[in-house]
Amino acid sequence: MLQDRVDPSLVPFKTLPGGARMPAVGLGTFGSDHAPAGLVASAVEAALRMGYRHVDCASVYRNEPEVGEVLERAVLGGVPRDELWVTSKLWNDRHAPADVAPAFEQSLRDLRLDHLDLYLVHWPFPNAHAPGVDVGSRDSRAKPYLHDRYMETWGELEKLVDRGLVRHIGTSNMTVPKLRLVLRDARIRPAANEMELHPHFQQPELFDLVLREGIVPIGFSPIGSPARPERDRTPQDSVDVEDPVIVAAARRLGVHPAVVCVKWAVQRGQVPIPFSTRPANLLANLRGAVSDPLTEAEMAAIAGIDRGCRLIKGQVFLWKAGQSWEDLWDPSGEVTPP
């Protein structure tokens, strides 16, 4: 491990069905409506130089063409394509079966690749929104989760696997009852489920289901999403990196509390995808995955600070008047009725 780089071979990984290896820490590319595409691409370029090999993308982030230029330069510059793990996601306005393959193929062109490693259904709702909208915005054509329609979308992702264009497919922003339905009906099972995971929001029931089913949990907002959009902020939100348990572990290790959140995620068994445009933070997060682990006592203490504090609430995806954001997340344990 050089001063400004981590040997990619030292980064832990998850082995998926079929033997593919997903690096156990990645780089998110959602700029939370504040980081322009060029800045995100520069962060990806710096991260690849530092030893990152896992990049989490999405068409709705509006930066895949710029990220694709970086990925192309990296491969031409000697980074083996089979060392890279690149994910993208199907946005909500492309759930119609006829729209799935064209949306995927556009991401593939934008990212300048001949295949993706993972393609996710970004949200289980076919409800879109304009960039930068406020919490009260709603899609005039918004619909609830309708399982048969979701499985029609999923079937188109399965066809992409059949065509050899993507190695694995997965889900994102799911709940226990929704995921159980998908597992019941899918021809090709989800290889990964991307979900909000950080010390103050550990989602134990969904996390345990994912592990039991042999699905890789990918955790977004792993340090508590300090730069999340204003529409997702409420007065009740807590701050992971200010928690005394996290601060104490950071003090012992001589690192920023954010690094403790990343270390905890890797040790717990999820794949964190932190985002930053600051090289020092990028390097610190990657080093956190390969340096001295948290102790058993620290891991137990962090397990005890779960506050059930969901930060990315998704209000803009609600489908009818009079609902609260909790309705998106099936609080009864059953899929919220239409």
Active-site amino acid positions: 61
* Residue 224: closest CA among 237, 210, 211, 207: 237
Please report, for residues 171, 175, 312, 313, 315, the alpha-carbon distance to residue 334 in angstroms, rounded to integers and kept in the order given.
Answer: 18, 9, 20, 18, 19
Residue with tokens 């990619």: 8
Half-sphere exposure of 25 (CA within 13 A, CB side): 34
Distance, CA of 218 to CA of 5 (rounded, Å): 23
Distance, CA of 22 to CA of 39 (rounded, Å): 25
Residues contacting residue 232 through CB under 8 Å, at least 6 positions apart: 135, 225, 311, 312, 313, 314, 315
Distance, CA of 135 to CA of 61 (rounded, Å): 18
